[in-house]
Amino acid sequence: MLEGINPLLTGELLLHLDRMGHSDSVVIADAHFPAWALGARVVDLPGTSTPEVVAAIRSVLPLDDAPGIDLMTSADGTVLDVQHELMAAAGTTVDSTRFVERFAYYEVARSAYLLVRTGETRKYGNALLRKGVVGHASA
């Protein structure tokens, strides 16, 4: 256990997040998402929700320039409660979030560096985050 690190960030997950480069992406997927079919690197976090995992990851990972986050467009095109929670957890808004059609989203997710499968059961509870530049703040 590490002090100051969100307990959802397991050693395995931190290792993969650290290995990601600028603009590499991580998908935080709901329990319905075909993570193992699409990803070479998958970390399972059962019993968690996607918003809480997004918040944990954002505590150590800056977002790339807009769009730093992609969400899957719902079947009827409305922004769902879980998606509002994902944007809040990521620190983004509807205007700075890209919404991607379901099958196109799978293709974008296929190229992600890492997929994290959660226990989220709400539909369209998926978020793709792009890693920004990690560095020292300028004076």
Integer distance in angstroms from the first to the last C-alpha of the chain? 33
pLDDT digits (tens, 9 = 90+) for 47-83: 999 999 999 999 999 999 878 899 999 999 999 999 9
Residue 93 backbone phi and psi in degrees, to 5: -125, 175
Could you tell me the pTM of the whole model? 0.94
Burial class (CB in 10 A: 0-12, 13-18, 19+), 132: middle
Distance CA 56, CA 71 (A): 17
Roughly what angle, to the nearest 10 degrees, separates helices 81-90 and 50-58? 10
pLDDT digits (tens, 9 = 90+) for 11-38: 999 999 999 999 999 999 999 999 999 9
22 belongs to the catalytic site:
yes
Which two structure tokens, joined as six digits, stand for 1?
A: 């256990």
Q: CA dist 103 to 70, 72, 99, Å?
A: 13, 9, 12
Distance CA 114, CA 130 (A): 11
**pLDDT greater at residue 134 or residue 89:** 89
Domains and CATH numbers, the chain: 21-130 (3.40.1650.10)
User: Among the options 16, 22, 32, 136, which is catalytic?
Assistant: 22
